[in-house]
Amino acid sequence: MLRILKPPTTDLDELSKIQRKVAEIIVKRDEIRGLNTIAGCDISFSKKDRAYAACVLLKYPSLKEIDNKTIEVGVNFPYIPTFLAFRELEPMLRVTKDLKADIYMVDAQGLAHPRRAGLASHLGVVMDRPTLGVAKSRLCGEAEPPSDEKGSYSLLKDGREVIGAVVRTRTGVNPVYVSIGHKISLERAIEITLNTSPKYKLPEPIRAAHKLATKAMKGRS
């Protein structure tokens, strides 16, 4: 599994095989052991492949911040749609490692990926911890638009397979794309997404991590 961190190649066919292995390991059942804390992870990029990864630990369901961490890292792998994990997984693991949460929310897809192995799932499998993905836009799959009211959602499907949900976290605002990462059910992922979005489109864990990553980037450039 360390091959995910240090890919033996940059050949996309080989990396696809690694992702298929990750997909085989994903646990779609809810294995959360008491949900009292939730962490949000995000990364901001400045020039020259210099990145700032941030992780914020929040209490659940109060969403009060407990702790956070940011790191500066060099990134070599480029952004290639469907291969995001090979660019962002390592920084995310490093910033996430010291913050112990009952579940980690990632600003990316999880199961809702062509090979069923988005960044959120990679993180969960490598850490062997529950994760879910909440993305701002669609990577693959199709879904009916959910109704306008906050709380409504529709299933995201690839053919007949359900790979995630399109969730309205705020009335009248574009929905987010929710999918399981690891050791969680889609129903629970949707519930957590809604419970952590009291005011804005994006869930608080992701908003907090995004703000922190951006702040770290501006502060050191």
Partner DNA sequence: GCGACAG
Partner DNA sequence: ATCTTGTCGC
Interface with DNA, residue 44, by CB under 7 A: yes
Q: What is the pattern of x (binds DNA, CB under 7 A) and - over residues 123-162?
A: ----------x-xxxxx-----------------------
Q: Which is nearer to DNA, 133 or 205 (CB)?
A: 133
Nearest partner of 112 among 81, 154, 132, 141, judged by Cα: 141
Spatial separation of the C-alpha atoms in residues 11 and 190, rounded to whole Å: 35
Given a contact cutoff of 8 angstroms between Cβ atoms, the answer to whether 194 and 27 are in contact is no
Asked if residue 204 binds DNA (CB under 7 A), the reply is no
**DSSP classification of residue 8:** S
- With CB under 7 A as the rule, give the number of residues binding DNA: 27
Nearer to DNA, 23 or 155 (CB): 23
- 83 is an interface residue for DNA by CB under 7 A: yes
Burial tier of 187 (Cβ tally within 10 Å: 0-12, 13-18, 19+): exposed
Single residue of 56, 57, 60, 82 touching DNA by CB under 7 A: 82
Whether 184 and 172 have beta carbons less than 8 Å apart is answered as: no
Beta strands in 60-130 (DSSP E): 65-74, 103-106
Restricting to residues 90-129, name those near DNA by CB under 7 A.
107-109, 113, 118-120
Q: Is the bond leading into 7 cis (omega within 30 degrees of zero)?
A: no
Q: Quick one: 34 or 219, whose CB is closer to DNA?
A: 219
Select the residue interacting with DNA from 4, 39, 43, 54 (CB under 7 A). 43
* Residue 145: CB minimum distance to DNA, A: 14
| Binding site residue list for Mg(2+) | 42, 107
Our CB check for DNA shows the closer of 49 and 100 to be: 49
Q: By CB under 7 A, is residue 214 in contact with DNA?
A: yes
Nearer to DNA by C-beta: 34 or 81? 81
Q: In this structure, what token pair is assigned to residue 28? A: 């779609």
Query: By CB neighbour count within 10 A (0-12 exposed, 13-18 middle, 19+ buried), where does 79 fall?
Result: exposed
Q: Check binding of 203 to DNA (CB under 7 A).
A: no
